[in-house]
Amino acid sequence: MSARRVAALLVAGLALVAFAMWIASQRHLERATLAGDLVLPDLERHVNTVTEVGLRKGDGTRTTLKKDSAGWSVGERGWPADPGKVRKLLLDLGALNIVEEKTRLPANYPQLGVQDVSSPKATGTRIEVISPARTWALIVGKSSGAKSGYVRVANASQSLLAAPLLTVDADPKGWLDRALIDLAPERVRRVEERPTEGAAFSATRDSKEQTDFTVTPVPKGRELTGPGAAGPISGSVSSLTFDNVGKAGAAATPKAAHALFRTFDGLEVDVAGRKDGTRSLVTLSTHATAKQAEAEAQRLNARLGGWEFEIPDYKYAAIFRPLEDLLKKPPEPVRKTTEATAPGKASVPGKDSPPDNASPPDTPE
C-alpha cells in the first residue's frame, strides 16, 4: 500500500472520529436543555441589575416597567409600580425551568399560545427583561394546569412546558401601586359633605373617644337612623385604593362633589369626586392647620397632586354619602277616605242601593 493511500485513509479516519465527537457533543447539548434546566440562563444571577421589563401582546396592549433611584414605575402611567409584583415576576422568570420540550413547528404554536406577538391574533405575551449586560426575551403562552405553562424563548424554534406557571398582564393598570391614602377613622374629627345634588351637611365629634358623630343640619321633622349613622363616613378613606390613574385636567370640575375630612391633629383632606359614565373619579388635596401635620400634608400633596384616580363605585358611594341615607324614612302620609268608603257609615236604602224586594225592570217582548 502506497504512502499516499495510507495518508488518505488516516485523514478519512480522523475525519470520522471528529464527526463522531461532534455528534456526541450535539447529543450532550440536547440533553443539557431537557428537564430541570433554566429557560433563561443567567437571569437568576442578574435579577438585581434589571432596569426595565417590557410586556406586549398582539392586540397592541403593552406595559413598560422602569427602575430608577426612586424604584419601579409604570411608564405608560408615570405612576409607581407595585414593587412586590415586579419582584415576583423577575424571580419566577429567573427560576423558570424546563419540564419538557414541545413542538418546533410554527404551525402548532397557536395551540400553545406561543406564536410571535407581531400577529394581532396572537394570544401570548412577550416579555423582555433588560439589564446593562444583556436582554432576555420570552413569549408566555397558555397554562397547563396550576403549576406550569407553555413558553418559547423569542427567536427560538423550540417551545417548552415550563414551571413555575407565569401569570403576566400587559395592561398597565395591572402593575400599578394602588395604595392611595390611609386616613385612620379614629383621627377624623369632622367631615363636611358638599354634594352636587341634595343637602350639604357636616358630621362632628368632640373627642376620639366619642364614637358617634353629630350631624347638622337635620331637616325638621326627620331623625337619624341611629346614633352611629354617620360613623362609616369617617372610615371611607382608610386604606383607600384605586383601580386606575391618569393626569388630572388643568381646570377643576365645576360640579364636583366634595368631602372634606378634618383630623384632630390638624390635617385636612379634601376629596373631590365626579362621575364619568360608569367611572367614579376623585382628586385629593391636603392642607395642614397645625405644625405637626405639615410634613404629612406636604408628602401627600407631592404624591397625589395633579392626578385623578378611578376608585371602586362602592368606595365612591361611601365617601360621598348623601344626607338622605343617614335619615329614617319619613312616615307615609295618611290617605284621605271618601264619604262612600268611610268606616261606620251605613248606606241608605233606596238611595245608595236598591231595596231587597225590588223586582227587575220589565223587558220588552
CA atoms of 165 and 240, how far apart (whole Å): 31
Per-residue pLDDT, 25: 47
The tally of CA atoms less than 13 A away on the side-chain side of residue 303 is: 14
pTM, whole model, 2 decimals? 0.78
- Do residues 184 and 238 touch, judged by C-beta distance below 8 A? yes
For 217, 329, 333, 354, the CA distances from 201, given in Å and listed in that order, are 6, 18, 26, 62
Q: Which three cell numbers stand for residue 132?
A: 446593562
Q: Collapsing DSSP states into helix, strand and coil, what is residue 307?
A: strand
CA pair distance 129, 56, nearest whole angstrom? 12
Q: How far apart are CA 157 and CA 254, in angstroms?
A: 58
Domain layout of the chain by residue ranges: 44-175, 179-326
Q: Give the DSSP H/E element, type plus range, for residue 302.
A: helix 294-304
What pLDDT does residue 332 have? 80
Q: Just give the CATH number of 44-175.
A: 2.60.40
Burial of 340 (0-12, 13-18, 19+ CB in 10 A): exposed
**Is the distance from CB of 226 to CB of 212 less than 8 angstroms?**
no
> Phi and psi dihedrals of 197, rounded to 5?
-135, 150
Q: Is 242 exposed, middle or buried (0-12, 13-18, 19+ CB in 10 A)?
A: buried
Task: Report the candidate in 221, 191, 232 with the shortest Cα–Cα distance to residue 326.
Answer: 232
Q: Other CB atoms closer than 10 Å to residue 234's CB: what's the count?
A: 23
pLDDT one digit per residue (tens) for the chain, 365 residues: 566 665 565 656 666 655 555 554 444 334 445 789 999 999 999 999 999 999 999 999 999 999 999 999 999 999 999 999 999 999 999 999 999 999 999 999 999 999 999 999 999 999 999 999 999 999 999 999 899 999 999 999 999 999 999 989 999 999 999 999 999 999 999 999 999 999 999 999 999 999 999 999 999 999 999 999 999 999 999 999 999 999 998 655 668 999 999 999 999 999 999 999 999 999 999 999 999 999 999 999 999 999 999 999 999 999 999 999 999 998 887 777 655 555 555 555 555 545 555 445 454 44
| Chain Cα centroid distance, residue 189 | 31
* Max Cα distance, the chain (Å): 153
pLDDT of residue 255: 85
